[in-house]
Chain A
Amino acid sequence: MRTTVPALTRRRFLTATAVTGAAALAVVGATTVPWEDLFASAGDLDPNAGVLVVVTLYGGNDGLNTVVPASDPAYQKARPELAYRAQDVLDVGEGIGLNPAMTGLKGLWDSGESLTIVRGVGYPEPDHSHFRSMAIWQTASPTSPNGAGWLGRWLDAVSDGSAADPLRALSTETVLPPLLVGADRAGSTVAPGTLDLPRGALGRAVAGFAAPDPTDDPWRAKAAASIGHLGTLRAAVDPAIEGGTVKPAVAKTGGKGGDLGHQLDLIAGLVEARVPTRVYSASLGGFDTHADERGTQERLLGQLDAALTGFVQRLGGSDAGRQVTVLVYSEFGRRVQANASEGTDHGTASPVLLLGAGMRGGFTGQQPSLTDLYAGDLRAHVDFRDVYASLVDKVLGADPDRVVPGHPGGTFAL
């Protein structure tokens, strides 16, 4: 079932949702699914409510060759084969340049707003395992990265059992990332192919399980409700696809290795449709550049650059879009010294990018020294949890203490 919405407005979106919802209900006879609640919550979405888009770069992006201290002799010395020369990078001042593949982001930087580069971000006693360090970033818990994801904790804090819950946090990846899994709540995935029951009798029968039954225990009631949410998510995604540039046929590349541009297109469509979603997750993988780093990283940073630049420019064209803040991070940077394979091994501190209309732009945090190292690695000057806390405070308007305990939002200015 597809809904055609030529020019998308919030009202049109709601109307379209209502039509889709009613049609779906007619099929399954689940008349008690509270669609009205959903409309109410969609209508309630404060036009000033911030939206956070988290972009995870899997594999450990080499921060030193992303935001490049090209004029630092220590950088040239540490990476004789791998270093960019000062004249090759895109100058952003202070002797620093962006990777030559990041032409779009250089344009955003020069505009004086939209892009903030937070330098030297990490956490105490850095871990060099991809897996553990990513778990640390996703749980925001360096000493025991075992529990709920940081935005899962936000979901735990704000969910109220209403029909808006399944839409609060959406991932464009096929597998829900741990950062969106809370103790009691979890985000939803809207990757293409995950929302469509089979056509015909089988799909209709399963859709029929969405109806509540008086004999359901609370878990079965939740299971039934989750099937009803398929319609909600479908209704949200359809107009986003129609209104945006996403073609379902090409959008099938979602996921870690997928095309970030398509993921962000889908998110832009959802944002413009003003679905009641405050948090999105997207990702790009392949940054584990132990060998022949330059070509691989430039290709990936080129994709990242095109995807982010297009996304930020598109969002700048609507009121809803201007409420969006984008966070780009990876589980660690790489070692200062290049290895013998023209690549780099796992390191520590790395820059975090923040993008959006509300950014003041420029650098935050000091450039990590290339000579005052800790066991051959950069020292972090900014704790990523302080960045998270500020985003929770300023963008999501929630209490950082519920999400990143011990990190009040005020210590880091966006």
Chain B
Amino acid sequence: MKKFPISIRPFGVHAVLIEWPEKVDEAILNDILIFSTYLKESCLIEGNWELVPAYNSLTLILRHDTIDFESFKTQLETWYTEDKKLKLEERFLWRIPVCYESEFSIDLEEVSQILNKTPKELISIHAAHAYTVYGIGFLPGFMYLGGMPQELEIPRRATPRAKVLKGAVGLAGKQTGIYPQESPGGWNIIGNCPIPIFNPKNENPCWVKVGDRVQFYPISKAEYDLHKIEAEVGIYKLEKIKIDA
């Protein structure tokens, strides 16, 4: 496996930031995730560390103690270059139902006009691509998705809304994504997903992880209502397909 030039820097006394070349690139993301899995499984003491991958970086956070940076850096460099049999964690493509009907797609009409497409065309382009999860942050369960087709790029709304619904699917700049909870927001809303992304009652509160992919597919309002109830009572199963590394 190709190794990248990485930089290791202190981030306060409890954390270390490892950076890969500054690019949105699946090869880089995969390298980060392989290293992260290796660190978790073979190097770091379980329960003491949090590892936060995002785009071209991996941040390691130590719970209580302070890090002796220079010696830890040397150790990390060794771990990174060691020629071990490394594997990616199992990853999935999630198929996510989205209702693009007018009750939810409050900006679809306007966005279609600006992008010079019919709403139907816009929906089919949005649903035709699988998007890679490059990071989770901003809100619990909020995915930073990469791989949006250029023809759907549209600026954020000039004035953010005070309230965007939980499950709202939006477009902004080079990004598309789902609001995991009700929140203020400036994205252009084109649909809504009835399945919660984040549930604090579950032992694993968030089914998606960095490195997974998501693909949206259109559903009717009737299917939306049904899936929402199924999800609430815990019988809805999201369709997932294993990704071959």
Do the two shown chains form a genuine complex with each other? Answer: no
